[in-house]
Amino acid sequence: MALNASSARALSNGLRIPMVGYGVYELPSNRQTTEMVKKALEAGYRHIDTAAMYHNETETGLGICESGIPREEIFVTTKLDDPDHGFDRTLKAFRSSLQKLGLDYVDLYLIHSPHGGAQLRTESWRAMEQLHDEGLIKSLGVSNYGVHHLEELLEVARIKPVVNQIEIHPWLDQARIVDFCQQHEIVVEAYSPLARAEKADDPTLKQVATKYGKTWAQILIRWSIQRGYVPLTKTAQASRLPSNLDVFNFAIVKEDMETLNALNEDLHLGKYHGLLRPVGGAGSMTNKFVPLGDVAEQFHYDLLRY
Ligand SMILES: NC(=O)C1=CN([C@@H]2O[C@H](COP(=O)(O)OP(=O)(O)OC[C@H]3O[C@@H](n4cnc5c(N)ncnc54)[C@H](OP(=O)(O)O)[C@@H]3O)[C@@H](O)[C@H]2O)C=CC1
Ligand SMILES: O=C1CO[C@H](CO)[C@@H](O)[C@@H]1O
């Protein structure tokens, strides 16, 4: 079933966001990005998630343009890359993203991560507010923000963030951040909602999928929707696009939601942006991470990301 008006969530600024997004991180080639974006739009997706960091905004924009679907029907997100924090850099980076996308505006612009320190983050936000005032960005948001980052932003923001995009799946419930976002009417977008396919063989997940006659991927996407999130799924296989969107004709009952909720093990599959420290120290081979404070952020960022 394709997305329609009833499969969108309300943002706190009165706009609407289609409930399932197609993420274009790491598609095998740039040419394929354009093709996949077109195929996703043909399949009914109306929400495309890219980032300057993905180096595919040009190809993504081409796919949107070549789809022939009216611009206003598509919700397009891109993100400010970490090295572009700061007022002037943000203005420049955003204009570059917009030009690459070949669009007149983006629906949502996110700070990709809080890396960089409080002052720089605040400057970036000021620049984003200006771009919002100019009508170039419809909604402002953040990504990979913890509670303390959000508190800091809410203190200074003239225009409040309407989205926090974070990694969430049943093995990583991010309960504290989710509670905070929900209290402040910040919509949670779930990235890596399929747990990057690393849990496809999980016996509990398989059992629930069998019960509903759905794929494990559909169960994870549906779980995310029923938790109130906006899942952003990625596939490089066109044949998987329709089924990843075909999640609006069934509901997971409370008992099975609870079974899936109980899978949480604080498993972070993304190890980036200096926000997390691997248990056992930098360089240890583990998927268990603990949050870092701001002071250690720069240090760890250098260790893990570049
Ligand atoms: N803000 C941030 O910091 C981040 C944002 N993101 C966003 O979230 C999006 C999705 O996240 P991502 O980390 O890619 O993870 P996902 O959880 O979407 O997993 C993608 C993996 O699942 C596989 N897959 C997809 N559909 C199916 C299916 N129906 N059956 C079997 N396997 C399937 C894909 O393989 P195949 O391609 O072969 O189908 C791929 O290996 C990104 O594209 C990006 O837009 C992601 C990470 C960080
Ligand atoms: O958006 C993203 C896609 O995944 C990357 C690697 O895990 C992240 O660094 C980045 O935040």
> What's the pLDDT tens digit per position in 176-204?
999 999 999 999 999 999 999 999 999 99
Q: What is residue 6's predicted lDDT score, i.e. its pLDDT?
A: 56
Which pLDDT score, from 0 to 100, does residue 31 have? Answer: 87
What is the model's pLDDT at position 281?
46
- What are the strands, taking DSSP E only, across the chain? 8-10, 16-18, 21-23, 47-49, 75-80, 106-111, 137-143, 163-167, 187-191, 230-233, 276-278, 289-291
pLDDT at 95 over 70: yes
Residue in 22, 45, 54, 109 annotated catalytic = 54
Catalytic site includes residue 54 = yes
SS3 254: helix
The alpha carbon of 78 and the centre of ligand 1 are apart by a number of angstroms equal to 16
Question: Which of the listed residues 235, 241, 269 should we mutate to test ligand 1's pocket, taking the one with most ligand atoms within 8 A of CB?
Answer: 235
Ligand 2 binding pocket (C-beta < 6 A) is 25, 51, 112, 270, 272
- pLDDT for residue 30 is more than 90: no
130 C-alpha to center of ligand 2: Å? 27
3-state class of 278 per DSSP?
Answer: strand
Residue 172 DSSP class: B
pTM for the whole thing? 0.92
For 219, phi then psi, to 5°, come to -65, -40
Please determine, for residue 298, whether its predicted confidence score (pLDDT) is greater than 70.
Answer: no
For range 111-133, the mean pLDDT:
95
Using the predicted structure, report yes or no on whether residue 112 has a pLDDT greater than 90: yes
Ligand 1 pocket residue status of 23, Cβ below 6 Å: yes
pLDDT band, residue 221 (cuts 50/70/90): very high
Strand, coil or helix: what is 106?
Answer: strand
- Ligand 2 closest atom vs CA 271: 7
Task: Say which residues have a Cβ less than 8 Å from residue 41's Cβ, sequence separation at least 6.
Answer: 48, 63, 64, 67, 69, 74
Q: Whose CA is closest to atom 34 on ligand 1?
A: 235
Ligand 1 atom 14, closest CA: 234
Question: Any idea which of 46-55, 157-166, 201-210, 286-295 has the lowest mean pLDDT?
Answer: 286-295
CA–centroid distance for 255 within its chain: 27
Task: Report pLDDT for 86.
Answer: 97
Nearest to 82, CA basis, from 73, 98, 91, 93: 93
Q: How much is the average pLDDT of 273-292? A: 47
Contacts of 256 (CB under 8 A, 6+ apart): 208, 211, 212
